[in-house]
Structure 1
Amino acid sequence: MTQHGAKISKLENDFTRRREQEINYSRATNSLSSRRKKRAMVIVGVFLFFAMIFTIQIVRARANYADVNVQIAKQRGKYHHQQAVHKSLNARVSQLNDKNYVEKIIRDRYYYTKPGETVYSFPNKAPKDVNDVDE
């Protein structure tokens, strides 16, 4: 028996040694357990951080994808409109290559006549102005 102070003494036997070993073991396992918990929390935190970054990137990519699709749809609409305009202009060019059509336009807009022709104007039908565009 050893004395720890004047009035208290510790018994040295198998029970107290085993009890002391159990206490030391439980302190060590508690310390190890708390370290493991801290390590696990750090790992989970890092994982969540990267998961949030990837999620934000995915959301932004989808938003950009939607914007691009909207722009593509608008550009396709413009393209189809331009194709229709191009088609109508090609039709007008082909009409201008027709001699009879050009003659009709010159007679209607610019009041030209062939030699010996007489032009009659009717009150119900007002002539087009020279500057009006035929569409």
Structure 2
Amino acid sequence: MLAFLVIFIILGIQIFQSKRTLAKVNGNIAQYQASLQSQRKTSRQLKQQIQQLHDPEYAQQVARAKYNYSKKGETIYNLDN
């Protein structure tokens, strides 16, 4: 009877440790899946930007807005908000 109780306790401890390890692994999986979704979103945004930069009109808009480029004879005014 005592041997059965000892075996039962040992198996119970092992099951408890296995469940704890499984919960930890599932938590890691959820964390990595969230990270993967974020990376995929970033990748889609970057691919979209690349496609837009192949459009000369968009590239000109970016250059004008970001780097204050102007057309010949055009004057740029910077207004503080």
Give yes or no for the alignment of 1:62 onto 2:15.
no
Secondary structure of residue in 2 paired with 1:57 = helix
Residues 113 and 120 of structure 1, relative CA distance in 2, 3 Å threshold: closer
Question: How far off its partner does 1:76 sit?
Answer: 0.8
Count of aligned pairs: 80
In structure 2, the partner of 1:118 is 74
Matches within 5 A, 1:33-44: 44=1
Distance 2:45 2:12 in 1: 50
Q: AA paired with 1:79? A: L
Asked whether the equivalents of residues 70 and 76 of structure 2 are also in contact (C-alpha less than 8 Å), the reply is no
In structure 2, the partner of 1:47 is 4
Distance 2:27 2:65 in 1: 46
Question: How far off its partner does 1:49 sit?
Answer: 1.1
4+ runs of 1 displaced by more than 3 Å?
none
Structure 2 gaps of 5+ residues are none
* Aligned-pair identity (%): 26
Deviations 1:47-92 (A, max 9, x none): 1111111110001101111111111111111111111111111111
TM-score relative to the length of structure 2: 0.83
Question: How far off its partner does 1:98 sit?
Answer: 1.0
Structure 1 gaps of 5+ residues are 1-43, 127-135
Alpha carbon RMSD of aligned pairs, Å? Answer: 1.7
